[in-house]
Structure 1
Amino acid sequence: MPALSPLRFSTRDLPPEEQFAAWQAHVAPLVDIKLPDGIDQAAGFPADHTAWNLEGVLIVQQYTPAHRYARTVEKLRSTSIDHWYVVVPRSGRSWTEVNGRVAEGGPGKAELRTLADPFSGRTTDSESSIIYLPRDLFGRSQALMDSSNTGVLPGNFASVLVDYINSVEMKLSALTVEDLPLVVNTTRDIILTCLSQTLDRGGANERHVDVALIERARQYIQRNLHSPGLAPDALARELGISRTRLYQLFELSTAEQNQATGRRKSRPLGAASGERREGVARPEFPACSVSDF
């Protein structure tokens, strides 16, 4: 039996003069939006939003007319939402500024941003797919994600991710409950792989690949913790690496944990307040809409 039933929201059934206010309210937990200069609300704002909850990843298919958007510092203070999200534009153009850097989005591209940082931008009339992912899904690979904030994946890597998302979207209505963990984990792994390959080559890039492999190993062990078949050989085959390489990864992971523990113990008690949010339970995805985060 199919597991997913999408939630649909549209302003098209409302009077034109009420459409923009309705969309503002719908996206208010995430961003503040404004109409372009010279455009009146009475002209209408026909927007569509379809959300699919994959129990760990939320896929949103969306159409909006041109508008400006901003996730302000005030907005960050008023909500605990800190998910990552990938934008795959189907039509239109967008320009998003984060920390003084502007990323241009459009068809054939894939953008990565976080709701944990402020940003602002504008978009033309556009259709897009947006994939929301909780930070905890990436475990120790969050550092890799942080280093790629506001990034637009180049050429071949964007194509790999876009093709995968296209294939998932085609099957959304047919996915079963048993399919969902595999789709969620595969989505995470493809994003991490694409990001690790777009960063600087050499030692830094190898380090990011190590981080991605360690996270995949951790997730595999969690899924198979009570399986009699869980063994180094099986894990190495799952990751596509040798046993020697596997042992090197675990030595690296253990060394990093020891270093992190030492740093935490050496810090003054007051310095820990900045880390408090890492101990807070992450918000779960809603059963329906992004606006219910």
Structure 2
Amino acid sequence: MTDRLPFVRIRSEDTTPEAAFRKWQAVLPQYSIRLPDGHDIRDFDMDASAWLLEPLVVMAGRTRAAWVDRLPSSEAKGEQTNLVFALFCEGRWKGEAEGRPFDFGDGELIGLDTSRASTGLSTDSHWIMINVPRRALAKLVPAIPDLHGHVFRSASAGFLIDHMMSLERHLPTLSTAEAERITRASLTLIAAALDELAARKETNQASTPPAIRNRVERYIQQNLSSPALTPDMISKDLEIARSTLYRAFAELGGVSAFIQERRLEAARAILFHPEDHRTIGDIANVLGFDNTATFSKAFHRRFGCSPRVARATGTTRIPLSGRQLFDFWTDVLGDAKPPE
């Protein structure tokens, strides 16, 4: 008998709507998933499967409308983070990814970085997603462009979309012997879509001298403790047009997002320092946050844990390879029924 790919499945008809929803939440602990106001959980319905195509995890299914907020899942935007390519075959998803608004659906594809926050409301949807460890693309795409919240509409993305729909059809019967070839094809198409995105970004940014961004970055670092540090303040003090300022930081999610990122990175460094015993409130104040609650919420959204937990454990890392992610789902869904 031919070995099939490892898989898991959540299906409402195998249990109850409430139990299916709770399992969905349990297998995605770095998401906050909730129903829209006025929706009764007793009406919830889903049928979703996931296959391990090492090192990728491919997910496909249908779910009712829901808020899906992504919480950060690792300590940095480096090798340990995962990228997600989400195709909505039917339905729409509207929200924002670190200040970058998105609104897409009906055959469109979005990219997300699991180390960064996003929030969005999806309608009743049929979707396909590929979870890709960043390191799996290292040889194909040495410099991965900022895809977080980017809706792909290029020709290369069209080929990837067709491939993802083909994966949904064929993965239930794909043998492990064939898996390596399909994985290579998937990574090649993902790399092509990213290459086209990188080329377009380079063209768009050619009119912004690197010296401008370097100058702004130094100014931001020197004024992190100022609650008044805003794009308006930077534009005025450095005599840089707002349009030029925004264009210089577009690839990083915007000026405000960059300021927030630098403040949170500085906070993490303080929390990890063995001889720095300032309180959480003191750290929030010295880095320009309005109050401790605002700081703690922002820190949790960025790193996936509270400042107190980060200080106590000395880490915010939650690395998940494709295998680790899939094994976790298997443990949570041990009684889930396989696809028919």
TM range (shorter): 0.5 to 0.7
Distance 1:81 1:105, change over 3 A: farther
* Alpha-carbon distance change, 36 to 81 in structure 1, aligned in 2, over 3 angstroms: farther
Coordinate RMSD, CA, aligned:
3.5
Which residue does 1:24 correspond to in 2?
A: 25
- Residue 177 (structure 1) aligns with: 176
Partner in structure 2 of residue 189 of structure 1: 188
Q: Distance in 2 between matches of 1:148 and 1:68?
A: 21
Structure 1 segments unaligned to the other structure (5+ residues) = 206-269
Does structure 1 residue 10 correspond to structure 2 residue 11? yes
Q: Does 1:285 align with 2:323?
A: yes
| Structure-2 change in CA distance of 1:204 and 1:167 (3 Å) | same
Tell me the distance in 1 between the aligned counterparts of 2:323 and 2:36. Answer: 31
2:30 is matched by which residue type in structure 1? L
Deviations 1:116-172 (CA, angstroms, capped at 9, x unpaired): 111111100111011111111011536324x22221111533321111222333332
2:138 is paired with a residue of what secondary structure?
helix
Match of 1:83 in 2: 82
Give the deviation of 1:195 after TM superposition: 2.0
Q: Against the structure 1 CA distance between its residues 202 and 101, is the aligned structure 2 distance closer, same or farther, given a 3 Å change threshold? A: closer
- Report the counterpart of residue 134 of structure 1 in structure 2: 133
- Whether 1:45 aligns to 2:44 is yes
Q: What secondary structure sits across from 1:152 in the alignment?
A: strand
Checking the alignment, whether the CA contact within 8 Å between 1:90 and 1:107 is kept in structure 2 is: yes
8 A Cα contact 1:11 1:23, kept in partner:
no
Which whole-Å CA distance do the structure 2 matches of 1:116 and 1:167 have between them? 28
Q: 1: CA distance between counterparts of 2:202 and 2:118? A: 31
For 1:192-271, list aligned pairs within 5 A. 192-201=191-200
Rounded Cα–Cα distance in structure 1 between residues aligned with 2:158 and 2:10: 29
2:7–2:49: 8 Å Cα contact kept in structure 1?
A: yes
Q: Report the counterpart of residue 158 of structure 1 in structure 2.
A: 157
Judged with a 3 Å threshold, the aligned counterparts in structure 2 of structure 1 residues 3 and 116 are, in CA distance, closer, same or farther, namely: same
Q: What secondary structure sits across from 1:12 in the alignment?
A: helix
Write out per-residue CA displacement over residues 37-56 of structure 1, whole angstroms, 9 at most, x where no aligned residue. Answer: 12233x33111221111121
Q: How far, CA to CA, are the matches of 1:202 and 1:39 in structure 2?
A: 40
Q: Give the distance between the partners of 2:70 and 2:192, measured in 1 at CA.
A: 28
With normalisation by structure 1, the TM-score equals 0.64
Give the equivalent residue in structure 1 for 2:92: 93
The residue type paired with residue 165 of structure 1 is: M
Q: Which runs of 5+ in 2 are unaligned?
A: 205-268, 273-313, 333-340
d(CA) in 2 for partners of 1:39, 1:2? 41
Aligned residue pair count: 220
Aligned amino acid, residue 33 of structure 2: I
Partner of 1:33: 33
Identity %: 24
Conserved? CA contact 2:89–2:128, under 8 Å: yes
Structure with larger RCO (C-alpha < 8 A, sep 6+)? 2
What is the SS of the residue equivalent to 1:121?
strand
Shift of residue 280, structure 1, vs aligned partner? 9.3
Task: Report deviation, 1:67.
Answer: 0.9
CA distance in 2, matches of 1:202, 1:65: 35
Aligned counterparts of 1:157 and 1:280: Cα–Cα separation in 2: 32
Q: Specify whether residues 81 and 281 from structure 1 end up closer, same or farther in structure 2 by C-alpha distance, changes over 3 A only.
A: closer
- Contact 2:60–2:168 (CA<8 Å) still a contact in 1? no
Shift of 1:181: 2.1
